[in-house]
Structure 1
């Protein structure tokens, strides 16, 4: 028996929205059924690229299309709550790009609404689906390093793209810069140290290379404390070049080192490796499937199909999305105050 494809809607057709649509289009069992774009130019481009999809300039028209099962929301952060709420109220499953929202109250409201409607609410932390970064977690869970005690997740890259209308450089629309990319690394660090329980406190510092714009935090580092003295370091610099990410996890019986490099974050030709050590010998763990955020988007679509059709759990839940936002808000509060912040003050 042939199963009809899951019909997807995409709200937002900027650079990243186009990547989402492309990932849906490449995934067997998925179909781009409708696109909502902001301008006539992007609407025209959507019609040209996806001639079988309905294209709207008002996302409410997309939500009125009854044959759509799941919607990807890929728009500036300050619009997330308004649009995501409308998606769930329309009775459609939702993939919401990170950050989930700009406030904890909005995250909680969306989570409650999804539960009331019995709808899936996935948050776009696609690194959990990476053949590289997820293999780190698999090795930890398999006991390769004993009890994990310390994690480092670090990024050095060239500056962010401006975003449509320069929204990413407008702090009122971003919320804070920590919510833009370090949020991914907070999620990985919490995931890798999940055996340590929930984060208890956080201390962060940051600075900017742009005189007069301290809110645009080009260099950022944070220490996240867990119970029993376990901790993670999350660090990022946007004053570098290309795109280079590292994760290192040390445990009572060994350590792991994962690395990914590319000329840009969306390259299809990255270099990457994963090494493990028991303290005496070092082995390289083969990563046979190519990894990078454009490939993880395709994995994310496949994950949604399995959740919708097969009832499998989401890789990143609304609860995970809320925790990532909470750590970013705690980090921003710490940067501003110069003091550690208890997570109980945020959640």
Structure 2
């Protein structure tokens, strides 16, 4: 499968490197956003065509799938153009910065009949997906409560400081928290979608959509709840998830020098339904680079069969919740969630 990569910033370079590690995948072209990244791509990827326009990549009949790793505000338009050109799409989160644009992506994907997978790769994790499998097998009983905390170093601006520009990033809640909101919705799937969200936080001096710290609570119709907290005033990269059901509980953590480290520390502990003591559940490896590689490897089977890890439609709820978390922060009130 030949892949066209759109975006060659820091994370785009990780995508390129990981594509090169997966047998059966090859990089057929790159779209660079500026002269510096174009020169870097030409240096790093000898023999790979480097384009400055999306149209040039989409016109290449040898490209099977477009992997979109550009700044957030470009995701929706790029995806729609790729679908219209008959390409499969792997789309970095968030798929859009507004709900209207996200719905446009869903419509384009479904209209085209092409494969669309959202890069919510933690669902392919041997750590975070293991949590879901334990829930499914009944190890916790009925889900009741969750606390998920991210403590990390501040965000970097990215090329041209796009991550510090409201019009380009959308919001910092869409940048990394969307991964963990997606996981929480997945873990609570049997409880249905949340009925309301409340949040409090500390605004960043960088402007609207930027919060140096916040805590959000999603409440479900049966009274169960899930809390997510992010602090960007910290150091390194640390995640802690605590889940409690009516019969068992899980505590799992991940820590590394940064989010892309390939040598993190991690642990998953479970008190299984009917047990008094907790056990340590073996996890071979964990980290977003490993999980990206797993998601890319799955393309070889999933794209031909049309069975993505997370379809565009399935990615909509986490995006909507993130947008409503920002609304709750700005308006300082609980926001009812309406699902049609």
| TM-score band w.r.t. shorter chain | over 0.9
**Between 272-281 and 328-337, the greater mean CA deviation after superposition:** 272-281
1:183 and 2:178 matched: yes
Map of 2:122 onto structure 1: 127
Q: CA deviation at 1:149?
A: 1.3
- What is the 5 A alignment of 1:131-142? 131-142=126-137
CA distance in structure 1 between the partners assigned to 2:201 and 2:55 by the alignment: 39
> Is the 1:187–1:320 Cα contact (8 Å) retained in structure 2?
no
Give the superposed CA RMSD.
Answer: 1.4
CA distance in structure 1 between the partners assigned to 2:325 and 2:303 by the alignment: 35
1:37 to 32, 39, 43: 32
1:314-340 Cα distance to aligned partner (Å, 9 max, x none): 111112221111001110111111111
Map of 2:110 onto structure 1: 115
- What is the 5 A alignment of 1:234-249? 234-249=228-243
> Is the 2:106–2:313 Cα contact (8 Å) retained in structure 1?
yes
Question: How many corresponding residue pairs?
Answer: 338
CA distance in structure 1 between the partners assigned to 2:142 and 2:53 by the alignment: 51
1:302 and 2:297 matched: yes
For residues 283 and 111 of structure 1, do their structure 2 counterparts lie closer, same or farther at Cα, with a shift above 3 Å needed?
same
**Between 43-52 and 335-344, the greater mean CA deviation after superposition:** 43-52
So what's the TM-score if we normalise by structure 2? 0.96
> Is the 2:118–2:312 Cα contact (8 Å) retained in structure 1?
yes
Map of 1:144 onto structure 2: 139
> Is the 2:209–2:326 Cα contact (8 Å) retained in structure 1?
no
- What is the 5 A alignment of 1:248-259? 248-259=242-253
- What is the 5 A alignment of 1:38-57? 38-57=33-52
Structure 2: gaps of 5 or more residues = none
Q: CA deviation at 1:148?
A: 1.2
CA distance in structure 1 between the partners assigned to 2:134 and 2:27 by the alignment: 35
CA distance in structure 1 between the partners assigned to 2:106 and 2:208 by the alignment: 33
1:17 and 2:12 matched: yes
Q: CA deviation at 1:291?
A: 1.2
Q: CA deviation at 1:277?
A: 0.8
Map of 1:73 onto structure 2: 68
Map of 1:221 onto structure 2: 215
Q: CA deviation at 1:44?
A: 2.3
CA distance in structure 2 between the partners assigned to 1:254 and 1:88 by the alignment: 44
CA distance in structure 1 between the partners assigned to 2:102 and 2:35 by the alignment: 31
Q: CA deviation at 1:47?
A: 2.1
CA distance in structure 1 between the partners assigned to 2:35 and 2:168 by the alignment: 22
1:90-142 Cα distance to aligned partner (Å, 9 max, x none): 11011111111111121111111111111111111111111111111111111
- 4+ runs of 1 displaced by more than 3 Å? 210-215
So what's the TM-score if we normalise by structure 1? 0.94
Q: CA deviation at 1:213?
A: 3.9
